C-alpha cells in the first residue's frame, strides 16, 4: 500500500474530482472524515469567518489538514465580491474582507492558497484582484443546470488547461436547504465526471454542511458516498486544491 505522502509528492495529478465544502460547518465536516478516508478522497474546505472558529473547531480543522485535505479561504464575512467592490471599492474589499480572513487562517496554521467566491459572485476584475493573493479561485455555474448533460462542457476543465486555468467553475451538489429539497438529478455532474475520467482534466463540485437535514445548504452523506463511489469506479482521484499542478 502506498503511503499518502508519496501520493501527494510523487504522483502528478492529471485528472481529478475536486470536491469542495464551503462556509464554517467544521463539526459536520470532521464527522465524515472516515467517509473521505474510506474512499481515499482528499477534499477542500473553504472557510469563512475564520476568526469565529472555536478551539474545538480549529483542532478539528487541523486534523482534517493533517489527513491531507486542503483548507482555503471563503472571506471574512461571506461578502459577495462584486457587490462589495461596487459599494466600497476594490481596496476596501481586500482590506476588510479578504486580507483579514487570509491572515486569520494563516495565524491558525493554514496557508490558504485558494479562494472560493461566496455565492459564486465574481467577474474578471475581482479575479485579477484575488489572483494577486491566491493560486486558484473557485467560481460557480448555475445549480439549476446540474441535470443537463451539456453542463459538462463548462464544468469539465480539459487536461491541457489544468495547469494554467486559475479560476475553476464549480457546481453545487447540495441535497437541500432547510425544508427545501433540491432536484436529485445530477446527470450533468455525472457526465462531467465521466468525461474527466476519460479525457483527464478536472471537475469541481461544491457543497456546504454534510447532513441528512440542516437549516443551511447541506449534502446528504449518502450522496457523497455515491459521488465518491462513482469517482472510484471511474478510477478518478478525488484531491484537494493544493494538490493541483
Ligand atoms: Zn459560502
CATH number at residue 199: 3.20.20.370
- 71 found inside a domain: yes
pLDDT score for 12: 67
Q: CA angle 172-61-212, nearest 5°? A: 45
Protein residues near ligand 1, an ion, with CB under 5 A: 22-23, 118
Instruction: Report d(CA 4, CA 24) in Å as an integer.
Output: 26
| Residue 117 within a domain | yes
pTM given for the model? 0.95
Coil, strand, or helix at residue 227? helix
pLDDT at 3: 44
DSSP 8-state class, residue 160: G
pLDDT at residue 245 in the model: 87
Confirm whether 133 is domain-assigned: yes
User: What pLDDT does 117 receive?
Assistant: 98
- Ligand 1 centre to CA of 3 (Å) is 33
CA of 121 to the centre of ligand 1 (A): 10
Q: What is the pLDDT of residue 154?
A: 96
**Distance between terminal CA atoms of the chain?**
24
Query: What range defines the domain where residue 38 resides?
Result: 15-243
What pLDDT score does 214 carry?
Answer: 97
Between the CA of 232 and the centroid of ligand 1 the distance, in Å, is 27
Ligand 1 mean position to 116 CA, how many Å?
8
The H-assigned helical ranges of 89-220 are 90-92, 99-107, 124-130, 151-155, 187-199
Q: Is residue 30 part of a domain?
A: yes
Strand partners, 238: 17
Number of domains in the chain: 1
Q: Is residue 9 part of a domain?
A: no
With a CB cutoff of 8 Å and minimum separation 6, the contacts of 211 are: 28, 218, 220, 221
In-domain check, residue 3: no
Give me the residues of the chain with pLDDT under 50, please. 1-10
Kindly state whether residue 146 falls inside one of the protein's structural domains.
yes
CA dist list (Å): 90 to 56, 68, 132: 34, 33, 13
Residue 7 included in any domain = no
Query: What pLDDT, on a 0 to 100 scale, did the predictor assign at position 11?
Result: 57
pLDDT computed for residue 50 by the predictor: 98
Amino acid at each position: 500500500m502506498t503511503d499518502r505522502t508519496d501520493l501527494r509528492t510523487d504522483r502528478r495529478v492529471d485528472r481529478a474530482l475536486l470536491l469542495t465544502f464551503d462556509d464554517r460547518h467544521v463539526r459536520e465536516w470532521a464527522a465524515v472524515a472516515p467517509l473521505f478516508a474510506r474512499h481515499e478522497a482528499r477534499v477542500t474546505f473553504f472557510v469563512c469567518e475564520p476568526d469565529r472558529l472555536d478551539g474545538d473547531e480549529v483542532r478539528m480543522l487541523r486534523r482534517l489538514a493533517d489527513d491531507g485535505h486542503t483548507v482555503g479561504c471563503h472571506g471574512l464575512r461571506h461578502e459577495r465580491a462584486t457587490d462589495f467592490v461596487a459599494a466600497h471599492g476594490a481596496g476596501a474589499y481586500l482590506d476588510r474582507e479578504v486580507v483579514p480572513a487570509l491572515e486569520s487562517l494563516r495565524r491558525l496554521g493554514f496557508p490558504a492558497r485558494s479562494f472560493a467566491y461566496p455565492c459564486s459572485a465574481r467577474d474578471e476584475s475581482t479575479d485579477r484582484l484575488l489572483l494577486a493573493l491566491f493560486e486558484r479561485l473557485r467560481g460557480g455555474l448555475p445549480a439549476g443546470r446540474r441535470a443537463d448533460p451539456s453542463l459538462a462542457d463548462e464544468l469539465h476543465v480539459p487536461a491541457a488547461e489544468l495547469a494554467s486555468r486559475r479560476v475553476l467553475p464549480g457546481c453545487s451538489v447540495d441535497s437541500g436547504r432547510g425544508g427545501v429539497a433540491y432536484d436529485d438529478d445530477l446527470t450533468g455532474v455525472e457526465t462531467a465526471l465521466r468525461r474527466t475520467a476519460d479525457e483527464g482534466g478536472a471537475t469541481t463540485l461544491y457543497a456546504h454542511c454534510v447532513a441528512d437535514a440542516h437549516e443551511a445548504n447541506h449534502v446528504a452523506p449518502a450522496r457523497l458516498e455515491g459521488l465518491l463511489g462513482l469517482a472510484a469506479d471511474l478510477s478518478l482521484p478525488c484531491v484537494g486544491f493544493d494538490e493541483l499542478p
